[in-house]
Structure 1
Amino acid sequence: MQLTASAHVDTFCRDNLPPQDAWPEFLFDLPELHYPERLNCGTELLDTPASRLGPDRHCLLSPGTDPWTYGDLLARANQVARVLVEELGVVPGNRVLLRGPNNPWLVACWFGVLKAGGVVVTTMALLRRGELSTVHEIARIDVALCDHRFTDDLRAADLSGAPIVEYGGVDPADLVGRCTSYDGIFEDVDTAADDVALLAFTSGTTGRPKATMHFHRDVLANADTFSRHVLRPTADDVFTGTPPLAFTFGLGGLVVFPLRVGAATLLIEKATPGELASLIESNVVTICFTAPTAYRAMLSGDHARRLRSLRRAVSAGEHLPSSTWQQFRDATGVSIIDGIGSTEMLHIFIASADDDIRPGSTGRPVPGFVAAVVDREGVALPAGEVGRLAVMGPTGC
């Protein structure tokens, strides 16, 4: 596959792509996956719905704070981009590390990096000094934006002198304060659809964590496959969930999927299952992303009655037992959508919804993907045989 002309001045990501003969085969057989050569996913996910639906539409909700509209997020993301470019010297292709819990400013930083043509490296807030040093060793971080409550381990990590800018605090040098010096206007970098937009790190269960490289088109492709064809959200939905945005399950379910359709999302920094149920009730949440353990816990006590607004529930990260599925369905009337996804594929590529769901079974390949169980030589096995799962679609690395 021939790469298009990159907007990246810093060519680190292009230089470190695997050789072409090691790339996966891609599949773009759906018309909605035919993206233009020039594409900035930040523009498509934020500027486009703000223009189409109006800047006053609610976008980001967060307990204890005023809601952000699409106009609010757009202005703040543009301000972040200006700070990155005009004060911190970020050029297209630089890697920018983000660290913090799920809240509106983390999302503003995520979009600001993309708009500036940078490559987002969102990290789990629980990572410690050594783990953060490993992230830098692999990704060669140029700048870090960090929630002011989570700076200690980051400052102790070896970032080779990369500047660390805090946000959400009271320091005059805080990113939020810096943003007030700029208007909310920024001309987004005209990235290529196949420029790297983000580096997502694997959990390291098989050893040293690995950085998976995902293009701007990949970010949209997961919204235009699983979300569009299985989840089927509308602009009137309100999303929420517990996975951190550094986990691509959370990034898709709490940012990419809702903003792709102009919906709102409730960002929760930390919540017990009971608190999650209460927030679902008080914010009239309609779509939830979390793990089977949380769905089971929300069935205890009187929590189930707080879930009446839900119309969709998505589970991933561990096996969903058929008993949990049935108990949740009996208590709420909602059929949990179980999915298989991976960091390497960015999000869910096998799932079923509604009448296609078979409790205890994950489902079918999402439209846009094909899958087969194969042997070690890659030959498809008969039904019922144990083998390796081979997947092909618009994403993969």
Structure 2
Amino acid sequence: MQASEHLPAQFNVATWFVDRHVTEGRGGAPAFHYETRVLTYGDVFDLANRTGNALRALGVGLEDRVLVLCLDAPEFLATFWGAIKIGAVPIPVNTLMRASDYLYFLNDSRAKVAVVSAPLLAEAGPILGQAPLLRHVLVAGGAAAGHLSFEEQVSQAGATLDAAPTSRDDPAFWLYSSGSTGFPKGAVHLQHDMWVCAETYARQVLGITASDKVFSAAKLFFAYGLGNAGYFPMAVGAQAVLYPHRPTPESVFEVLTRHRPTIFFGVPTLYAGMLAVKEAEKRFDLSSLRVCVSAGEALPDEIYTRWRERFGVEIIDGIGTTEILHIFLSNRPNQVRPGSSGLPVPGYEAAIVDDDGRPVPRSEIGNLRVKGDSTMAFYWNKHDKTKETLFGAWI
């Protein structure tokens, strides 16, 4: 699927995922469940507009970077979509890293503003004054001396915001990919990339609709989690559960029982941990689930089989990367081949090649290359690494 065949040249992705629900009359529909709160699509629209205006008032402009060091909470959504709407570039980063990593992200990205959830200041706080290009820090969910209050800045900002006239091929956001060696690499994603993933994997593999409710144990700062609980439900007007805490087997079971989602996204180690909970199928109610999804590493056949036997729902395994943004090889509901990662997602192509890029004979080992229109544009400030990774339209 090529975005250029479906989207106009001038395209701001926030208008598709956020504004569209309000303009089409779905502003009152529930969008996100967070702790005891329910945010409607109208609430998300209002938060994004106010946050975009607040960022603009702090000097953030077109293509300026905004570091998003946030828990899975409303401030993440507000900052991510608000920044994109004004043409700035949000950069969600892992909330479990060290202070030195955050300093690297700030210096590498040259972010003008950082939005930080208050509980994360214990680790990140000491280095926030060491990034020479960082102008402002907004703290969400608590006061912090020397920094601005996210809630105050947003509440005082206007609720009306026109989207910046970005193109479908402009940068929209970055995600840092750690890879196996060296410093993390900023994978630059474009305005059309999330739309492609939603229209291919979410719609055509998962069959997501407005009647679904999703819960992702993978956090929003991951490419996997960002799609799962971020923009996939927003593509169709579905609901998502935001969980700001560390997911443990017991806590995940409790969320599934309390919120009754229809789609659950996990990883193999979590599924294994949940299977280790004694009599979980008697203690917790998972009957609302129509499908479970796994990614991050290969799902062992044994975990798939035991999960289906105990909970009566299959796990759809797939492969995705930060660079391609989401899953590009996947099993299909009701067509799972346990132990396999499935077939190319509609809109993507895959090939097994040798070290020179030539297709290898069937049954021989080679290197996987993938072609799809959600692939990153490049690694920020890593020209040589970009050339080593991209092969024309293939990666």
TM-score (norm 1): 0.89
Between stretches 170-179 and 96-105, larger displacement belongs to 170-179
State whether residues 369 and 393 of structure 1, in contact with CA within 8 Å, keep that contact through their aligned partners in structure 2: yes
Structure 2 residues not aligned, in runs of 5+: 377-395
Decide which moves more: 340-349 or 150-159.
Answer: 150-159
Is 2:30 the counterpart of 1:58? yes
The counterpart of 1:218, out of the listed 172, 193, 205, is 193
- The one of 134, 142, 164 aligned to 1:169: 142
- Asked if 2 retains the 8 angstrom alpha-carbon contact of 1:349 and 1:366, the reply is yes
The equivalent of 1:294 in structure 2 is: 270
**Pairing 1:330–2:309 present:** yes
Deviation by residue 1:111-139 (Cα, 9 ceiling, x = unmatched): 11111111011111112221112112321
**2:40 is matched with which residue?**
69
How far residue 203 of structure 1 moved from its aligned partner, in angstroms, is 2.0
Out of 280, 296, 302, the residue aligned to residue 303 of structure 1 is 280
C-alpha separation between the residues in 1 aligned to 2:271 and 2:121? 32
- How many residues matched? 367
Equivalent residue runs for 1:320-359 within 5 Å: 320-359=299-338
Distance 1:138 1:318, change over 3 A: same
- Partner AA of 1:145 in structure 2: V
Is 1:101 the equivalent of 2:71?
A: yes
Query: Which letter maps to 2:41?
Result: Y
1:50 shift after superposition: 2.9
CA contact (8 A) 2:111 2:133 kept: no
Counterpart mapping for 1:110-125 below 5 A: 110-125=80-95
Residue 189 of structure 1 corresponds to which residue in structure 2? 164
Q: Residue 15 of structure 1 corresponds to which residue in structure 2?
A: none
Q: Is the 8 A contact 2:178 2:184 kept in 1?
A: yes
Letter in 1 for 2:56: V
Deviations for 1:200-232, whole angstroms, at most 9, x for unmatched residues? 101242221111110010111111111111011
Q: Which residues of structure 1 form unaligned runs of 5+?
A: 1-26
Identity value in percent: 32
For 2:387, the equivalent position in structure 1 comes to none
Q: Secondary structure at the match of 2:192?
A: helix
Contact 2:176-2:185 at 8 Å conserved across structures: yes
Work out the CA distance in 2 between the residues paired with 1:188 and 1:395: 22
Q: Offset at 1:170?
A: 4.5
How far apart in 2 are the matches of 1:161 and 1:255?
Answer: 29
Superposed counterparts of 1:1-397, under 5 Å: 28=2, 34-63=6-35, 65-86=36-57, 88-157=58-127, 158-162=130-134, 163-170=136-143, 173-270=148-245, 271-299=247-275, 300-304=277-281, 305-397=284-376
Deviation at 1:32, TM superposition (A): 9.2
Distance 1:376 1:205 in 2: 19
State which drifts further: 278-287 or 169-178.
169-178
Distance in 2 between residues matched to 1:168 and 1:50, nearest whole Å:
27
| Secondary structure at 1:45 match in 2 | helix
Q: Following the alignment from structure 2 to structure 1, what is the Cα–Cα distance between the partners of residues 76 and 333?
A: 33
2-side partners of 1:364 and 1:265: how far apart? Answer: 27
Deviating 4+ runs (over 6 angstroms): none
The structural deviation recorded for 1:362 is 0.4
Q: What is the identity, as a one-letter code, of the residue corresponding to 2:315?
A: I
Distance in 2 separating the partners of 1:53 and 1:337:
33
1:306 partner SS: coil
Deviations 1:254-285 (A, max 9, x none): 11101000011001112311111111111111
Structure 2: distance between partners of 1:259 and 1:44: 9
- Tell me how large the CA RMSD over aligned residues is: 1.7
Q: What amino acid is aligned across from residue 159 of structure 1 in structure 2?
A: A
Q: One-letter code of the match for 1:277?
A: F
Q: Distance in 1 between matches of 2:25 and 2:337?
A: 37
Would the aligned equivalents of 1:94 and 1:141 in 2 still touch at CA under 8 Å? yes
Q: Report SS of the residue matched to 1:307.
A: coil
